[in-house]
Chain A
């Protein structure tokens, strides 16, 4: 087990040196899953057979002296929103309970080409909509540091499985903070790359202009290695950046002389817990002790980030999720009972009115079978949060509201990006809290969507601007819950983020702490 709990980079080196086989490492992960996942509930499906076969194959090739990939033999867990050929991909939704993609996401293909061993698919908020993984249609995932608390979301399964040492690392996706926030809440490292850095092909879309997949790991060093494996231009994704991806691992130890850190004034306002604030301020002091200079900056429009995000993301989602209509794939409502329902409505309409013209109008107002098929399928297949956002986005794009909501939000998005551009003229990185507070209790915010949305305050702006951000552990609350520190960099400066995070992790041990699940 030791091999899995330390770091994926070390595991990879041990595998390469023959100190451990991939079958052993994979078996250790599967054992750990067996041991603790009944309580954490991170995995939606464990592919023990496939993982063991892949591990054995890597071992065989290595023993025969054949070439192996960058991540050869290292197990990994995937958020169940990345398409895996021949393996169910549910997006945490009843809608896709039986959906089996005939193709691999580009990220998955790259991982397979790098000879990573895919352990299985992990839980998430339905279609990545949420910040607690409570919106999964299957079950909520627990925070390994306190099983009564949420692991964050939407990549809650990805964060929890790494924190609980069931997988040395995982892939998450981040649309408004869904990698960074659960990383912060579970005490791990989570990197949201620059928009366009990692291919979105095969990543089931929530909000296409914001979604990015990224590594969720114990350390910046591991994140660099995993990002190296999945980053790069993809001709199948028209929004993929045609910018060469550097060898992040090779750049980790490059010096960071004269690093200028931007401290966002606007971050330290009402809503920020004092424990988080104290931990972040301590982290800033550590960076200063390492030679960084801090500069007070302002992102004056960041306070509009949530409002902007909760227009743009639902608008895109309402369109992206239109394809789940029960016709070509996914869940379909029971047709006989649907037809019976329509027939009952027709009878009721006829009976309720003696006036034949009015009765006729009432009957005409009833959905056609096809429309009812769509509406019932979607009502039964989607959970409440997805419906809420689909409704919100449909409303905001509908006739008469487009300019007031969607177009307005796109303009504010420009202002937010301009804020970043201006800030990065004076600083190299922006530093601040990842979340306003540590993990909250399961169910605590389930009935207050707006309160849930406000949790994304510090993370959404990076998605709106398209810049990369990383969350690393930087402290602990009195109750022993992890606290996350967020660093943000200009577009395509992941290397700078990783170097700074790596430097911090060389002098701190927050990232080495593990929850006690014995």
Chain B
């Protein structure tokens, strides 16, 4: 499956990356080569094979429903690039 520049541009919005024209060109080539390389997987017949998402065979891992202390607000907000006394701040999200 050839990867077009338009595909890469579309993916860059999905991935929330701003790419300049030169970067788009470069990535179109690089990603195209990687995708071509990955295509070798299609050689394998896998219809009957169950996917393996977890290497560790565990199930039913739960925690008890017991409240534990939360972070003090100042500590929770300490890493925020923009904040006030109570909240994180971002450009208006109206209409998004």
Q: So, do A and B actually touch in the complex, CB under 8 Å?
A: yes
Is B6's CB within 8 Å of the partner chain A? no
Q: Do the beta carbons of A408 and B15 come within 8 Å of each other?
A: no
What is the chain A residue whose CB lies nearest that of B53? Answer: A410
- What would 15 A/B residue contacts be, using CB atoms closer than 8 Å? A209-B53, A235-B63, A239-B56, A304-B40, A310-B34, A327-B90, A370-B96, A371-B96, A375-B13, A391-B27, A391-B31, A395-B11, A407-B51, A410-B53, A417-B55
Interface size, chain A (Cβ < 8 Å): 73
Among A195, A329, A388, A412, point to the contact of B41 (Cβ < 8 A). Answer: A412
Cβ B78 vs Cβ A102 within 8 A: yes
Residue of B nearest to A462 (CB): B55
Task: Assess whether B51 is in contact with A411, with CB atoms less than 8 Å apart.
Answer: yes
Residues of A within 8 A of B37 (CB): 306-307, 310, 450
> Is A369's CB under 8 angstroms from B41's CB?
no
Contact for B18 among A376, A392, A394, A413, CB less than 8 A: A376
A378 in contact (CB, < 8 A): yes
A364 to B36, CA, bound (A): 35
Q: Is B2 an interface residue (CB 8 A)?
A: no
Query: In the complex, are the beta carbons of A307 and B40 less than 8 A apart?
Result: yes
Which residues of chain A are near B53, meaning CB under 8 Å? 209, 410
CB distance from B27 to the nearest CB of A (A): 6
User: Given A239-B58, A330-B81, A405-B41, 5 more contacts at CB 8 Å?
Assistant: A306-B37, A370-B90, A373-B91, A394-B14, A491-B56
Interface residues of A in 334-386 (CB under 8 A from B): 335, 368-376, 378-379, 382
Per-residue interface assignment for chain B, residues 50 to 78, with 1 indicating a CB less than 8 Å from any chain A CB and 0 otherwise: 11111110100101000000010001101
Q: Could you say which of A307, A325, A398, A412 contacts B11, with CB atoms under 8 Å apart? A: A398
In the complex, the 7 A-B pairs of residues with the closest C-beta atoms, listed nearest first: A466-B55, A410-B51, A329-B79, A332-B81, A375-B18, A411-B46, A414-B52
- A256 → B minimal CB distance (Å): 26
A residues in contact with B7, CB < 8 Å: 395
Task: Write out, one digit per residue, whether chain B residues 81-95 have a CB within 8 A of any chain A CB (1) or not (0).
Answer: 110000010111101
B-side contacts of A414, CB under 8 Å: 49-52
Residues of chain B within 8 A of A195, CB atoms compared: 55-56
- Within the complex, the shortest CB–CB distance from B78 to chain A, in Å, comes to 7
Using known A-B contacts A373-B91, A395-B31, A410-B52, determine if residue A99 contacts B38 with beta carbons closer than 8 Å: no
Taking a contact as CB atoms under 8 Å apart, the answer to whether A398 and B54 are in contact is no
Smallest Cβ-Cβ distance to A400: which chain B residue:
B1
Nearest CB in chain A: distance from B40 CB, A: 5
Which of B1, B42, B56, B78 is A196 in contact with, Cβ under 8 Å? B56
CA distance A98 to B82 in the complex (A): 13
Given A209-B54, A413-B52, A368 contacting B96 (CB threshold 8 A): yes
Q: A378-B17, A391-B15 are in contact. Are A239 and B54 (CB under 8 A)?
A: yes
In the complex, what's the smallest C-beta–C-beta distance from B88 to chain A, in angstroms?
6
**CB atoms of B38 and A307 under 8 A apart:** yes
Closest to A338 in B: B91
Cα–Cα distance between A387 and B46 once the two chains are bound (Å): 30
Contact B51 A242 (CB under 8 A): no
